[in-house]
Amino acid sequence: MNASRRTALFSVAASAALALSLSACQSGEGAKAEGAAAPVAKETVSASASAPAAAAGTSTSDDTGSGTSTAVGTAHKSNSTSAGAKKGTTTPLCRAQDVKVSSERQDGPPYTHIILTARNTSNHRCEMAGFPHIQFLESHKQDVPSVAKSKPAVPTVLNPGDPAFVLVKLSDGGVHEDNEVVNAFQLILEGDSTVIAVDSSAGGGLAVDPAKTLTGYWTTELRNGADDF
């Protein structure tokens, strides 16, 4: 009787111990599951938090909304600044002391036009602006009128040694015109008040009709059509 009772008590105790053991194991496995899930949740939060940061960096660092175009935009701005600096750099106007002016008859006879050549004899670049202000005769103090269609689209800039040209009309070539012989005449350049004397005595001088004279603009070459007057 006592042996049976002890056996029964032992069985009950063993069952209780087994139940406690199973309960402890289940509790431990549950703790591991939560511990493993925590890093996953942490990584998920970290990734979702970094995504808006990246997006925010993209939108604020580049006006175009593309993160890869930031460097391109910077380079473009740098180039624009450089171009702006070049554009802002002005070339000085050619002055009388910078050039040597000569004249040559064109076509003929009758010689109705001459070509003026102004060669840059200085050691720097300069711009031949506008047209020459020419006075052929002492009795006619007004400048020779200019022809607007001969104005070049871009400034006439000369490097050292480069020439600029101007076509000048003297007369219509008629025998009954009021021509006067001109062996020398004077002109001034745009932006300079220094008088340049030009010798035109070769070939017996120039036959000039003051009422018919016209001048073109300084250009790097004479152009058909624009300089046909």
From 48-52, 125-129, 167-171, the region with the lowest mean pLDDT: 48-52
The string of pLDDT tens digits covering residues 55-85 is 344 333 343 333 322 233 323 233 333 333 3
Average pLDDT over every residue of 174-198: 93
Higher per-residue confidence, 28 vs 146: 146
**Separation between Cα atoms, residue 213 and residue 168, nearest integer Å:** 7
Instruction: Note whether 136 and 210 are within 8 A (CB).
Output: yes
pLDDT over 60 (residue 110): yes
Q: Dump the DSSP string for 66-123.
A: -GGGHHHHHHHHHHHHHHHHHHH-PPPBP-GGGEEEEEEEES-SS--EEEEEEEE-SS
Q: Region 144-167: what's the mean pLDDT?
A: 97
Residue 176 has what pLDDT?
Answer: 79
In this structure, of 23-32, 52-61, 164-173, the range with the lowest mean pLDDT score is 52-61
Reported pTM: 0.61
Residue 2 DSSP SS3: helix
Residue 215's H or E segment, with its range, is strand 214-215
